[in-house]
Structure 1
Amino acid sequence: MPPWQQEQASHAVSLYFDLSPALPGSVPASVSTSAVRGPAPATNSTPPQVSEPAASTGASWREEFTSLTQEIKIRHYSPKTLDTYKLWLRKFQAFVRSKPPELLTATDVKEFLTWLAVKRQVAASTQNQAFNALLFFFRHVLHREFGKVEGVVRAKRRPYIPVVLNREEIEAVLARLEPPYNLVVKLLYGCGLRLFECLNLRVQSLNFDAGIITVHDGKGQKDRTVPLPKAILPAMRVQIDALKILHQRDLTRKYAGVFLMNALDEKYPNAAREFVWQWIFPAKDLTRVPETGEYRRYHLHETQVQKAIRKAVAEAQLCKRATAHTFRHSFASHLLGANYDIRTIQELLGHSDLKTTMIYTHTVKSSTIKEARSPLDF
């Protein structure tokens, strides 16, 4: 390796040990990195301009991350919220050069948010997400208020009009999807489900007699019911029959069951192996739990569905940027276009605020306002 790469590696390792003082075998400051590396080979490489890393304080923030996890779980927030808040806390920690948490001030927050907006040019929603994560961290982990963060204005989100597919475009995508992805998309469009709500469906969520699907622990830990489309009833029954065969095979292999949320495993020890708790869309392979060594089954992963949808949209050569959430947008817009009441659509989507549902009024033609035309068409 050229000398500049050796020097860069030396800085990286030294910074790592500086940030983790509790690690055993820390490199003494008296050890010369050049002595460890040995003589540098002859090279004609020109080293790039590498800035010197700032001096580290050695604050690890381990207790703060542990407290953040506990505070999130106490409030029963979703695992995604925990992952997002931990991600922003890591970025904030790196920004302040691992400054001890007790020395953090509103000025640090102001500089971080300003850096996100000016240097990184993040979207308004991303900036607000970072603000909310740090606000939670200050209030519930550090137990002190932000106060006024002077000079930093909460980013205002621009009005967003969702992408909506017509029926021909939806059929074109469905025709290019293989099972079980085509059934997943039919539920997204036919029931207005979010992707994670669809993949979290279990056998007990289906009620064929009443023709409804019960969505448990949706966004905001809320439950709701949506109509089960009659058009997919035969496909859903075929899926259930296939699940019975898979479940019996798993029981023969003496697997530990499916993954259950919270402490249901302790409350109902046999629930994980019962058929009613099985996923509607199970993963292809079993997952090994490192702590216990047992094998459990998870549901189909979101990235697999998203990848299949991207491929189908590309093959259909749509002129719209369609994702898994686009089918939920299409569900709401098509109901509104069919003169369904906006409050009914709000209940079906599981929105807490009617303002969120009102965005779909921009995706359909109004029957009361004269349709705008281009003068070129007069």
Structure 2
Amino acid sequence: LFRLLYTCGLRVSEALHLKVADVDLDAGVLAIYGAKGDKERLVGISDSMLAYMKSYRSNPLVANAKSIYFFPAPDGGFYDTSTIYDIFRKCLFDAGIPHRGRGKGPRLHDLRHSFAVHILNKWSSEGKDIYTCLPILRTALGHDRITTTEKYLRLVPEAYMEVTEPFNDRFHTITEVLCNEE
């Protein structure tokens, strides 16, 4: 579930409400219905995630579950988001990553943010025009406005040397501090 949130940029509720019928493992596509704002969209699945999802669905505990949900809860319904948040916090604790409290992170929603930032950085490193790619990312995330998508993104100096390089001589210490913030 966590891997799917990151690799497809899904919201937690979208992943938990995925039905088996919404997942086409042959075509590598998820159909997201009833997302935020009651929107619908199709989301592609990477080859590595697709292999992982096929393996997950072939597990007898999952394959034999009498549930319409892709990630069935023990009662056959879907998991409550609070259960998934608890599991996420336990994973953080086991990894030695501190959780700084509600709303301060790391948060499950940060996987969605990471998806957006990493895909944008990938496109940038491939030399793609970011301004023509943003509408694609907006659609994948299920946003109505590009400004909503922009809130997910962070300017990473290494990916945008043409923006930051002219200021290095005059403002080196400022960009150095900003780079080391995270």
TM-score (norm: length of structure 1)? 0.38
Contact 2:65–2:72 (Cα < 8 Å) also in 1: no
Write the deviation string for residues 158-185 of structure 1: whole angstroms up to 9, x where unpaired: xxxxxxxxxxxxxxxxxxxxxxxxxx00
Show the counterpart of 1:355: 147
Of 114, 119, 128 in structure 2, the residue corresponding to residue 335 of structure 1 is 119
**Given residue 86 of structure 2, which amino acid in structure 1 is its aligned partner?**
K
Q: Secondary structure at the match of 1:220?
A: helix
For the residues of structure 2 that align with 1:350 and 1:210, how far apart are their CA atoms?
20
For the residues of structure 2 that align with 1:330 and 1:313, how far apart are their CA atoms?
16
Show the counterpart of 2:20: 203
Q: Equivalent residues in 2 for 1:1-378 (5 A)?
A: 184-241=1-58, 242=60, 243-247=62-66, 278-285=68-75, 297-318=76-97, 321-339=105-123, 341-365=133-157, 366-370=160-164, 373-374=172-173
Q: Which runs of 5+ in 1 are unaligned?
A: 1-183, 248-257, 259-277, 286-296
Q: Secondary structure at the match of 1:281?
A: coil
Aligned length in residues? 154
Deviation, 1:318, is 3.2
Deviation, 1:375, is 6.8
Q: Secondary structure at the match of 1:282?
A: coil
RMSD in angstroms over aligned alpha carbons? 2.3
Deviation, 1:308, is 1.0
Q: Which runs of 5+ in 2 are unaligned?
A: 100-104, 124-129, 177-182
For the residues of structure 1 that align with 2:25 and 2:47, how far apart are their CA atoms?
10
Deviation, 1:326, is 0.6
User: Against the structure 1 CA distance between its residues 187 and 375, is the aligned structure 2 distance closer, same or farther, given a 3 Å change threshold?
Assistant: closer
Q: Secondary structure at the match of 1:186?
A: helix
Deviation, 1:240, is 2.2
| Higher helix residue share | 2
**Bigger relative contact order, structure 1 or 2 (CA pairs below 8 A, ≥6 apart):** 2
Based on CA coordinates, which of the two structures has the bigger radius of gyration? Answer: 1
**Percent identity over the alignment?**
29
Q: Secondary structure at the match of 1:283?
A: coil
For the residues of structure 2 that align with 1:213 and 1:338, how far apart are their CA atoms?
22
Deviation, 1:376, is 11
**Given residue 152 of structure 2, which amino acid in structure 1 is its aligned partner?**
Y
Deviation, 1:283, is 1.1
For the residues of structure 1 that align with 2:57 and 2:175, how far apart are their CA atoms?
55
